[in-house]
Amino acid sequence: MVLVDRANPTDRLDVERLIAAYHASEGAKPKPERISWAVDQVLRNRFPGVVLIGREKKAVVGVALAVYSPSAELGRVLVVNDFFVDPAARRKGVGRALAQKLLEEAKAMRVDRIDLEVLPTNTVASAFWKALGFRTQGRIIYSRDLL
């Protein structure tokens, strides 16, 4: 059984470990300093958002990090930047429990909409988010790195 709650500072290393595993699973080289910085921003409420963890017994097996973004067009938007379940703990409802808690937290923050990106090759993530009622809305993401 999984228990999902907001992460606290003592969960930090587990949160960072799972986020690094997530980035590696997407083919990116994890940047520990950047991960630490992003987790710190949200955990210390320097930037509004939420860090959730899923625990099975004492082990942290899932993580979600989302940040709040005010949009003149869409209202209060919560953007999910990191979402990962340990491969050994998949297909047991951990992801669903994390997403449900995220929805609860979003409602408490009076969020109008939750946004996230999925790589075109990530069919599992697409199936997962669709199963949870998320839909694509025909948008294309453009990006330009500045560093």
Q: Which is nearer to ligand COA, 74 or 127 (CB)?
A: 127
Q: Are 94 and 54 in contact (CB under 8 A)?
A: yes
Map the footprint of ligand COA across residues 11-30, applying CB under 6 A: 22, 25
The sign of the dihedral angle between the CA atoms of 52, 43, 133, 143 is negative
Q: Are 34 and 16 in contact (CB under 8 A)?
A: no
**Residue from 51, 95, 102, 111 that binds ligand COA (CB under 6 A)?**
95
Q: How far is C-alpha 124 from the geometric centre of its chain's CA atoms?
A: 15
Q: Are 50 and 98 in contact (CB under 8 A)?
A: no
Map the footprint of ligand COA across residues 72-91, applying CB under 6 A: 83-85, 90-91
Tokens of 24: 């590696």
Q: Are 116 and 129 in contact (CB under 8 A)?
A: yes
Q: Which is nearer to ligand COA, 41 or 126 (CB)?
A: 126
Nearest to 109 by CA among 79, 84, 146: 79
71 binds ligand COA (CB under 6 A): no
In the bound state, the residue with its beta carbon closest to ligand COA is 95
**Residue from 55, 79, 116, 134 that binds ligand COA (CB under 6 A)?**
116
Q: Which is nearer to ligand COA, 43 or 62 (CB)?
A: 62
Interface residue list for ligand COA (CB under 6 A): 22, 25, 83-85, 90-96, 116, 118, 122, 124-125, 127-128, 131
